[in-house]
């Protein structure tokens, strides 16, 4: 067994020492929450191995072939704080440069820096003193200070918002409580009285109230339901849950090394090497912090759930692995980048089969599972839940609709990266989420990244309306994208696990490696994504990052596009073996009038083809629109026959950027093809950006 001296405050005499965790493979659970994973390196007892070298070179592998200047720079908490102060002192000038209105002000939220000096500053906005929900933006500036790019959560102008509400705060509060009751919550109360805000996340700016409801969700998870109510009409505009929860695994990490602290004659689960992260025992409680784990021996747990310290050791280890992953690979010091640790609470409630992240306490909380015999405290659960914290501190993806699915996927994606990076021989890296929980009692994982639909509920590919399902299942396409980008399509065996990943268009995808895929996702999350990012925008953001890192003519850039096409988001790169097909494109913008306006068309005339059109004609559609659910989209063949591509649905997500497959074998290949679009709902507008036909 190894020991290593802590580099924290010498007065507290910390030591790192092996904790006695589970013997061969006990049962486990997994986290379903979402947010970026903060992984740390697993330190095994015994001699150094090739796995240790793999961990040491993970960052180099991810950066291979990348533009060194585009990689994230290592920022100490002090350096980050200086950048935040500078951004804050210049925020008025920045607002002027961006052309913001007189009533708008910027609030600095986060900052990251690339090695070439490029700075990515994330701002919230206020309007006439009111917080603007969905008004966040990221400003990218060069080393010389010139603005290079601005990514906005909403493209709507922030103006003409009425100052006076017609609805009383009490009406909004009653509506929020009713929404919580409808969701099965118990002991509900208004955690925060309704506050007046401007709602900009889903369309034009609206004066609104935001109410936060407390109590408990239907499974015993603390409730933090945000409900947004139109302050003029009283209509409910949106709601989302701020406590991100899930299921995790535990008792599978074997004997590991922990960073602890000496306090008098006792040791405590305090990790001063990682921002002072502490692990507490709630002892079946559901509030507060309980008691900090403390004992005279520095050996924690015995591998059995009957020993309270076993779950504490698992949670402490998982938090350390997550912290180390973000530090080792991305140079990020803690979830917020400020060098401060979160904290963990174990033994929550009674028979609580879940784990969750909460921004309000900046902490992870773990139940003990069915019969209090399966604590949900595994490494990948910790990574998953801590990643919710990262997402909250950066992109702030709203935990509902398509952005909620991307939030969940982020936690799965980076938790997978953490698990591989840890190189723990007792829990080898895989693309299976919750593989050791056996929550269904049949030995199957909770989720599969190579083919998400194998769990019976998750979706393999994007489709219009995917934002209307549970965020844990709408995360499927992004999880699938990550697997395809990492490993490629088709059958293969990795670390003894068999995978067989299909694609939406039936064409192959060649992977670029997990380290590069994770780097692209992390950088897109922290510099390109906003609170309202949907699948189409995620594609745009990841392609932008791939271009910055590897160049737009690189294999990596093409693979990102092909992996998205593999989950039905956007078109192929043209370099991913589309057969010897021929592509025709119309890039002319066509405005789509608001309801009840007439349908509009974009036309393509094909020639040089022979015979009939194929049974798998690829129809690429890129539409910019503030409410995709308003749109009815058809392909009109040369014969005049109509093929429905997209139906009107209750889908508030903006924009459509996808490729549809149509059996057009009844049509002549040559002729005039039309994309016909009609807005069937009021209040939102947009335009056809491009229309593409690919004949395989």
pLDDT digits (tens, 9 = 90+) for 486-500: 999 999 999 999 999
Cα distances (Å, whole numbers) of residue 393 to 36, 529, 531: 9, 12, 11
Using the predicted structure, report yes or no on whether residue 579 has a pLDDT greater than 80: no
Q: How confident is the model at residue 34 (pLDDT cuts 50, 70, 90)?
A: very low
191 and 132 co-located in one domain: no
Query: Does residue 490 fall inside a structural domain?
Result: yes
pLDDT, residue 57, reads 56
Contact 88, 119 (CB under 8 A): no
Question: Running DSSP on this structure, what letter comes out for residue 210?
Answer: E
pLDDT, residue 167, reads 86
Cα distance between residue 217 and residue 225, in whole Å: 9
592 and 688 co-located in one domain: yes
Query: Does residue 408 fall inside a structural domain?
Result: no
52 and 139 co-located in one domain: no
Total count of domains within the chain = 5
pLDDT, residue 403, reads 96
Using the predicted structure, report yes or no on whether residue 32 has a pLDDT greater than 60: no
Alpha helix locations (H) across 265-338? Answer: 308-330
Average pLDDT rounded to a whole number, residues 349-356: 91
Using the predicted structure, report yes or no on whether residue 24 has a pLDDT greater than 70: no
Q: How confident is the model at residue 180 (pLDDT cuts 50, 70, 90)?
A: confident
pLDDT, residue 283, reads 96
Using the predicted structure, report yes or no on whether residue 401 has a pLDDT greater than 90: yes
CATH of the domain at 176: 3.10.450
Cα distance between residue 481 and residue 474, in whole Å: 13
Query: Does residue 116 fall inside a structural domain?
Result: yes
User: What is the per-residue pLDDT across 437-462, written as a single tens digit (0 to 9) for each?
Assistant: 666 667 788 889 999 999 999 999 99
Q: How confident is the model at residue 251 (pLDDT cuts 50, 70, 90)?
A: low
Cis ω before 601 (30° cut-off from 0): no
Cα distance between residue 522 and residue 545, in whole Å: 10
Q: To 10 degrees, what angle do helices 535-550 and 401-422 make?
A: 40
Written as six digits, the tokens of 565 are: 């096409």
**Which of 8-12, 220-224, 598-602 is predicted least confidently?**
8-12
Question: Running DSSP on this structure, what letter comes out for residue 453?
Answer: G
Contact 437, 454 (CB under 8 A): no
Looking at 224, 243, 262, which one is the last position of a domain? 243
User: What is the per-residue pLDDT across 501-519, written as a single tens digit (0 to 9) for each?
Assistant: 999 988 999 999 999 999 9
Looking at 243, 258, 284, which one is the last position of a domain? 243
Using the predicted structure, report yes or no on whether residue 271 has a pLDDT greater than 80: yes
Using the predicted structure, report yes or no on whether residue 464 has a pLDDT greater than 50: yes
Cα distance between residue 687 and residue 673, in whole Å: 18
Q: How confident is the model at residue 26 (pLDDT cuts 50, 70, 90)?
A: very low
pLDDT, residue 575, reads 40
57 and 84 co-located in one domain: no
Query: Does residue 613 fall inside a structural domain?
Result: yes
| Residue 472 known to be catalytic | yes
Average pLDDT rounded to a whole number, residues 387-415: 96
Using the predicted structure, report yes or no on whether residue 38 has a pLDDT greater than 80: no
Task: Give the chain's mean pLDDT.
Answer: 85
pLDDT, residue 29, reads 27
User: What is the per-residue pLDDT across 78-105, written as a single tens digit (0 to 9) for each?
Assistant: 999 999 999 999 999 999 999 899 999 9
Question: Is 268 strand, coil or helix?
Answer: strand
Contact 34, 245 (CB under 8 A): no
Cα distance between residue 358 and residue 354, in whole Å: 13
456 and 536 co-located in one domain: yes
| Residue 548 known to be catalytic | no
Cα distance between residue 172 and residue 186, in whole Å: 19
Terminal Cα-to-Cα distance of the chain (whole angstroms): 60
CATH of the domain at 545: 1.10.390.10
Average pLDDT rounded to a whole number, residues 415-428: 92
In this structure, the number of other CB atoms found within 10 A of the CB of residue 663 comes to 12
CATH of the domain at 56: 3.10.170.10
pLDDT, residue 498, reads 96
The residue with tokens 């990052």 is: 545
Count Cβ atoms within 10 A of the Cβ of residue 98 and give its class: 0-12 exposed, 13-18 middle, 19 or more buried: middle
- Kindly give, in sequence order, each residue whose CB lies less than 8 Å from that of residue 629, ignoring residues fewer than 6 positions away: 464, 465, 648, 649, 650, 651, 652, 653, 681
Host domain of residue 491 = 447-560
pLDDT, residue 619, reads 94
Query: Does residue 306 fall inside a structural domain?
Result: yes
93 and 184 co-located in one domain: no
390 and 526 co-located in one domain: no
Look at 204 and 608; give whichever has higher pLDDT: 204
Active-site residue, selected from the candidate residues 120, 347, 388, 472: 472
Using the predicted structure, report yes or no on whether residue 15 has a pLDDT greater than 60: no
Average pLDDT rounded to a whole number, residues 181-202: 82
> Strand pairing of 343-348 and 130-141?
unpaired
Cα distance between residue 583 and residue 570, in whole Å: 14
Q: Which of 426, 391, 442, 441 is CA-nearest to residue 412? A: 391
Looking at 377, 403, 429, which one is the last position of a domain? 403
Rounded to two decimals, the pTM is 0.72
Using the predicted structure, report yes or no on whether residue 209 has a pLDDT greater than 80: yes
Active-site residue, selected from the candidate residues 385, 408, 419, 515: 385
261 and 203 co-located in one domain: no
279 and 237 co-located in one domain: no
CATH of the domain at 110: 3.10.450.490
Please list the residues that pair with 661 across neighbouring strands. 618
User: What is the per-residue pLDDT across 524-547, written as a single tens digit (0 to 9) for each?
Assistant: 999 999 999 999 999 999 999 999
Q: What is the CA radius of gyration of the chain?
A: 25
Cα distance between residue 473 and residue 673, in whole Å: 35
Query: Does residue 567 fall inside a structural domain?
Result: no
pLDDT, residue 649, reads 86
Query: Does residue 431 fall inside a structural domain?
Result: no
391 and 253 co-located in one domain: yes
Hey, what's the torsion of the CAs at 201, 390, 513, 434, to 10 degrees? -100
Query: Does residue 13 fall inside a structural domain?
Result: yes
333 and 277 co-located in one domain: yes
Alpha helix locations (H) across 98-210? Answer: 169-182
pLDDT, residue 584, reads 85
Using the predicted structure, report yes or no on whether residue 72 has a pLDDT greater than 50: yes
181 and 147 co-located in one domain: no
CATH of the domain at 665: 2.60.120.260
Which of 17-26, 303-312, 318-327 has the largest mean confidence?
A: 318-327
Using the predicted structure, report yes or no on whether residue 8 has a pLDDT greater than 70: no
Using the predicted structure, report yes or no on whether residue 10 has a pLDDT greater than 70: no
Question: Is 225 strand, coil or helix?
Answer: strand
Using the predicted structure, report yes or no on whether residue 236 has a pLDDT greater than 80: yes
- Kindly give, in sequence order, each residue whose CB lies less than 8 Å from that of residue 528, ignoring residues fewer than 6 positions away: 138, 151, 540, 541, 542, 544, 545
């Amino acid at each position: 067994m190894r020991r290593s001296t802590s580099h924290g405050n010498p007065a507290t005499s910390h030591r790192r020492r092996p904790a006695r965790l589970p013997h061969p493979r006990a049962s486990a659970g997994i986290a379903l929450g979402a947010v970026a994973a903060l992984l740390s390196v697993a330190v095994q007892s015994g001699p150094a191995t090739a796995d240790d070298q793999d961990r040491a070179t993970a960052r180099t592998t991810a950066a291979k072939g990348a533009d060194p200047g585009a990689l994230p720079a290592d920022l100490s908490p002090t350096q980050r704080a200086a950048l935040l102060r500078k951004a804050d002192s210049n925020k008025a000038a920045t607002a002027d440069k961006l052309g913001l209105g007189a009533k708008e002000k910027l609030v600095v939220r986060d900052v990251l820096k690339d090695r070439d000096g490029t700075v990515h500053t994330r701002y919230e906005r206020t309007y006439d003193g009111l917080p603007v929900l969905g008004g966040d933006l990221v400003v990218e500036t060069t080393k010389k200070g010139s603005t290079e790019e601005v990514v906005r959560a909403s493209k709507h102008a922030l103006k003409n918002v009425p100052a006076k509400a017609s609805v009383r705060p009490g009406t909004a509060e009653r509506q929020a409580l009713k929404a919580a009751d409808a969701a099965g919550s118990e002991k509900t109360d208004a955690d925060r009285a309704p506050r007046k805000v401007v709602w900009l996340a889903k369309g034009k700016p609206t004066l609104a109230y935001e109410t936060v409801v407390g109590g408990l969700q239907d499974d015993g998870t603390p409730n933090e339901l945000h409900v947004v109510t139109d302050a003029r009409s009283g209509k409910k505009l949106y709601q989302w849950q701020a406590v991100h929860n899930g299921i995790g695994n535990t008792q599978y990490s074997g004997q590991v090394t922990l960073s602890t602290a000496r306090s008098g004659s006792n040791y405590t689960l305090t990790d001063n090497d990682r921002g002072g992260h502490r692990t507490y025992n709630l002892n079946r409680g559901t509030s507060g912090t309980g008691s900090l784990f403390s004992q005279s021996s520095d050996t924690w747990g015995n591998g059995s759930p009957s020993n309270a310290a076993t779950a504490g050791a698992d949670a402490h280890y998982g938090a350390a692995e997550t912290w180390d992953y973000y530090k080792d690979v991305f140079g990020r010091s803690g979830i917020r980048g400020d060098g401060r640790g979160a904290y963990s609470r174990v033994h929550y409630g009674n028979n609580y089969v879940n784990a969750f992240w909460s921004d309000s306490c900046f902490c992870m909380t773990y139940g003990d599972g069915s019969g209090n015999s399966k604590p949900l405290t595994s490494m990948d659960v910790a990574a998953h839940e801590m990643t919710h914290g990262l997402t909250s501190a950066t992109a702030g993806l709203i935990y509902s609709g398509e952005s909620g699915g991307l939030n969940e996927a982020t936690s799965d994606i980076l938790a997978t990266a953490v698990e591989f990076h840890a190189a723990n021989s007792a829990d080898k890296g895989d693309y299976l989420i919750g593989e050791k929980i056996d929550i269904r009692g049949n030995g199957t994982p909770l989720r599969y990244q190579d083919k998400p639909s194998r769990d019976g509920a998750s979706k393999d590919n994007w489709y219009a309306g995917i934002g209307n399902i549970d965020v844990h299942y709408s995360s499927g396409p992004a999880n699938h994208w990550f697997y395809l980008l990492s490993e490629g399509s088709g059958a293969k065996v990795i670390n003894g696990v068999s995978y067989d990943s299909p694609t939406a268009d039936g064409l192959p995808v060649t992977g670029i490696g997990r380290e590069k895929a994770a780097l692209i996702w992390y950088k897109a999350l922290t510099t390109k994504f906003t609170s309202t990012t949907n699948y189409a925008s995620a594609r745009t953001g990841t392609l932008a990052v791939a271009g910055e890192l590897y160049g737009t003519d690189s294999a990596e850039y093409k693979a990102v596009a092909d992996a998205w096409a593999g989950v039905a988001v956007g078109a192929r790169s043209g370099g991913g073996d589309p057969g010897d097909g021929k592509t025709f494109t119309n890039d002319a913008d066509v405005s789509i009038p608001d309801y009840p306006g007439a349908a509009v068309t974009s036309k393509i005339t094909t020639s040089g083809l022979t015979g009939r059109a194929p049974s798998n004609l690829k129809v690429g559609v890129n539409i910019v629109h503030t409410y995709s659910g308003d749109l009815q989209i058809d392909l009109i063949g040369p014969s005049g026959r109509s093929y429905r591509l997209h139906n009107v649905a209750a889908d508030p997500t903006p924009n459509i950027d996808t490729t549809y497959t149509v059996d057009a074998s009844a049509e002549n290949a040559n002729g005039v093809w039309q994309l016909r679009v009609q807005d069937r709902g009021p209040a939102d507008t947009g335009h056809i950006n491009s229309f593409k036909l690919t004949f395989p």
